[in-house]
Amino acid sequence: MQLSDYLKLLVDDIHSVVMATVDADGYPNTRAIDMMYQDGKTVYFLTANTKPFYKQLCDTPYVSITGLTHGIDTIHRKMMSLTGNVQHIGKEKLALLLEKNPYMYDIYPTEESRQVLEVFAFTEARGEFYDLTVLPPYTDSFQVKV
């Protein structure tokens, strides 16, 4: 598979991942976040600039995500991890991310409420892919470098 295939799988089939950041005291923090758009080179997500998560991303922009596809059990799933640097790109691509993820209008229903949203993208990362839907399992590594 090529990078664009992995990114498409991450956004379209996995979508919700667990992301780890580091807080100001050096402790790990995790949360569920959606990977909202990919352009074949990198993947984009957003958060509100009012959250501690936003500050953690800005202060220490090195993160790790893990997600898996849906399936009736482990043997019917594909898993992916991505670890590396993210960059705050502000409002750039915000309209596109909202268009591709219309459920966000339910969470942030007014233009005013959406003013807090900020976009981030991976700039350099190492990805790991593990496919248990085939036997023997298929594993691969890939790189994001923008």
Domain residue ranges in the chain: 3-145
Give dist(CA 50, CA 112) in Å, integer. 14
Instruction: Tell me, yes or no, if the pTM score tops 0.85.
Output: yes
Mean pLDDT of 18-43: 97
pLDDT in tens, 49-82: 999 999 999 999 999 999 999 999 999 999 999 9
Give dist(CA 97, CA 99) in Å, integer. 5
| Percent of the chain scoring above 90 in pLDDT | 99
Q: Which helix (H) or strand (E) holds 66?
A: strand 62-68
Fold of the 3-145 domain: Pnp Oxidase; Chain A (2.30.110)
> Among the residues of 24-144, which ranges form H helices?
52-59, 94-100, 104-107, 111-114
pLDDT in tens, 75-100: 999 999 999 999 999 999 999 999 99
Predicted confidence at residue 69, as pLDDT, reads 97
CB 137 within 8 A of CB 130: yes
Predicted confidence at residue 22, as pLDDT, reads 95
Mean pLDDT of 40-56: 97
CB 38 within 8 A of CB 139: no
What distance lies between CA 42 and its chain's CA centroid?
10
